[in-house]
Structures are given as C-alpha cells and as structure tokens.
Amino acid sequence: MLSRKRLWVALYALTFILLLNSCVDPFDPQVKNTPESFLVVDGFINSQGITTIKLSRTVNLSADSIAPPETQATVYIEAEAGSSYNLAEQDAGTYTSGSLSLDLAKKYRLHIQLISGKEYISDYTSIKITPPIDNINWEAKNNGLQIYVNSHDATNSTQYYRWQYEETWEFNAAFYSGLEYSNNTIISRTEDIYLCWKTELSSAIRIASTVRLNQDVVSNYPLVNLPTTSAKLARRYSILVKQYALSPEEHLYYETLQKNTENIGSLFDPLPTQLTGNIHAVANASEPVIGFVGAYSETQKRIFVGREELPKDWGRTITGYESCPVPDSIVIDGLQYRNLKEVEDYFRSTLYLPLSPIYSKGMPVLIGYTASSASCADCRLRGTNVKPDFWE
C-alpha cells in the first residue's frame, strides 16, 4: 500500500498532469527563415562494394520546395596517408564509386569540394565489419503483419546496428484491358498493364544496441508493421533488409536524429537536441553540416510473403481502386456514336481505355467496347509493369 507521503506526491503529480492537459492551446510559432542553406551529406563509405553519397541543401521550414541537390561537386574517399577513390556524379546530387575493397587496417574519410570551391571533410574512421543477417521472420497478428530481423556477432565487436529496407509488392489494376487504341483503330493489347510492381525505400530510423546485453545478439527486432488492410499485402510482398555495423558515435547520431524527428509531438516527449555529425567545413569549423559518414560493409537478406500465407479473416485490403466505377459500355447507339469508327475515336484520348469488345446479342457483330479510366485500368500509373529480376 502507498504511504501517505507517496499518495500526496502521486495526487499532486496527477493534478499537475490534468492541468497541463486542460491548458494546451493550439500554437503556431513564427519560424525564423534564414537566407543560408547548409550542406546535407547522406551515405556511408562501403568498404566492400559501391559507395553512394547524396548531397543536397537544407530549405526553410516554410518553403514548399524539396531539398535542392548539390551538383557538380568533386567527391572522393581518401585513406589516412594513402590512396584516394573518386566518386562520379550519376543523377543530380548523387555520387557513386566503383566497387571497392578497402584495407581494414586503414582509416578513411570523405572529401567534398563544391563547385563554389568550398571544401568539406569527414573525420577519419576505422572500418567496421558488418555481420550477416541471421534471418528475417514475420508474424501475423491481429493488427497486421509484423516483420522482425535477427542478427548476432560471435566476436562481440558489432554492438551497434542499423537497418534500412526496401519494400516491393505486386498489385493489379481494378480492371483488365486487353485492347488499346493505336493508329486510329482498336487492336489487341500486347503489353500487360494489369499486373505491376512498386518499390518503396524506407525513411524510418531503425537502430539497436547490444552493449548492455551479455551477448552481441539482436533477437526479433521489430522492423516493419503492416496493417491488415495494407495494399502491399494484396497479392505478394517482399522486403530487402540491409544491415550496417555502426560506431558508438554514429549510433548516437542516429539515436539523436530519431528523437528529434520521430518522438516529438506531446508535452512528455523529449525536447529536440543539437545534432552533431562528423563532417566539417575546412575553412569554417563552426559552419553547420548535416550528416554522418561512417565506414563499414553492408549485408542483405530478402524474404517474400504471399497473400495465401496470411489469415483468411483479415478481409480485403485497401488498394486505392475502391472508387473505380463499373466499366462503361461505349456502343453504337445511332446518336452520339453512329458507327464503329466513332466508337473507336472515343478512345483517342488516353484518359479512357478500351477493356473488351461488345457484340450484338445473338450475332457476332462488334458494336462497341467496355471502357474504364486509365487510372483504374493502367497499373503503370502507380508502379511499373517490368517484373523485378529478383521476383519469385
């Protein structure tokens, strides 16, 4: 039983919480815009593969534009008192190296020179060897599909883990179109636009530490949760998990970033704290630079989950095609469409697609076509109809 003193403390605490909740009013702070934009560096030095670094600039919170890429920079990896490896710009602001196999005994850093002449360097860092992913398993729960990752390091030298993932799922349009309008006539469609695939890259921060455990083992770390109605589960779903071994400093960076971006929203969440990376402007050490460049290898593992493996009582998924109406019938009516050519010309616009032919009752005479909007019959508007090489 609580003592009288503890009871009063608890009562005062409860009263304070209730008062706080009753006094919360909407607040729209005035955000101070700054004319400066700062460099953002996203990526890591891949010790056993291709290094990809993305450079961009910060934008004001009030701006509607996306972060502009930092283009035409000179980017290279350099070893401490050793060789260097150039990165070439592929897409705007994205720089990649060749496939590398770096010396584990050396330290490495990233060197960036902008087209303006400004230079930035990351701290030299030792290479960490990322252990393989033991397995990825999943569990069908009442609220959806929970995906877990498992890993360990028998040498007890990893201790700090980070994961990224790519989700790919198979889906189909609301209606099948076996016909297409081409060269002023309707012909059989040769390209399948009913079945497609879509890939989505993770943006969530997923990190774990085993420092306080007896063994360097990550067991059933909850990576992704998909609700039962998720469109990703309509047919077949796949997830590619990428694992990285972090330094204590990089883990702290991502932990702080996670708190600043994902755990803000109520009075009881931690306040944002300063984010300190390991990248510095050569000419001005006080200039803010966003990012942390570590050096390690990458390990991967992929799994598939078929709809037939999931509980039958989960019901229908929400695909986004629910608002698609029943297909129209565009036929010769003697008024708006007096002949088959006028019917076919209805599909001159790519907004509507022919689905299947309509014949007169009791006679093999073509009189029109069923039709639907492209948004309901062309899956390419939401993904790609090119089957991924890895798809099973």
CATH 2.60.40 given to domain 39-127+276-293: yes
Question: Does 270 score more than 80 pLDDT?
Answer: no
- Sorted by where each begins, the domain ranges of the chain are 39-127+276-293
In whole angstroms, give the CA distance from residue 206 to residue 163.
5
* pLDDT of amino acid 13: 36
CA 108 to chain centroid: 28
Cβ contact 186:344 at 8 Å: yes
29 — pLDDT class (breaks 50, 70, 90):
low
Cβ contact 383:171 at 8 Å: yes
pLDDT in tens, 143-174: 999 999 999 999 999 999 999 999 999 999 99
In whole angstroms, give the CA distance from residue 155 to residue 133.
15
Cβ contact 370:356 at 8 Å: yes
* pLDDT of amino acid 174: 98
pLDDT in tens, 307-325: 999 999 998 999 999 999 9
Residue with token string 């019938």: 329
Segment (H or E) for 260: helix 248-262
Total Cβ atoms within 10 A of residue 126: 14
Question: Does 232 score more than 80 pLDDT?
Answer: yes
Question: Does 336 score more than 60 pLDDT?
Answer: yes
Give the angle 87-254-36 at the CA atoms, nearest 5°.
Answer: 65
23 — pLDDT class (breaks 50, 70, 90):
very low
More confident residue, 264 or 174: 174
Non-local (6+) Cβ contacts of 144 within 8 A are 225, 226, 227, 228, 230
Comparing C-alpha atoms, which of 91, 93, 96 is closest to residue 56?
A: 93
Give the angle 45-47-49 at the CA atoms, nearest 5°.
Answer: 95
| pLDDT above 90 coverage of the chain, percent | 77
Cβ contact 141:314 at 8 Å: no
Cβ contact 87:75 at 8 Å: yes
Helices (H) and strands (E) in the chain — how many of each? 4, 24
Residue 56 DSSP code: E
* pLDDT of amino acid 18: 39
Q: What is the mean pLDDT of residues 42-66?
A: 90
Query: Percent helix, strand, coil in the chain (nearest 5)?
Result: 15, 40, 45
269 — pLDDT class (breaks 50, 70, 90):
low
Question: Does 392 score more than 50 pLDDT?
Answer: yes
Question: Does 30 score more than 60 pLDDT?
Answer: no
* pLDDT of amino acid 274: 77
Question: Does 17 score more than 80 pLDDT?
Answer: no
339 — pLDDT class (breaks 50, 70, 90):
confident
pTM for the full predicted model: 0.86
Residue 391 DSSP code: -
Question: Does 265 score more than 70 pLDDT?
Answer: no
* pLDDT of amino acid 207: 98
Distances in Å between the Cα of 153 and the Cα atoms of 104, 213, 219, 220 are 17, 12, 12, 15
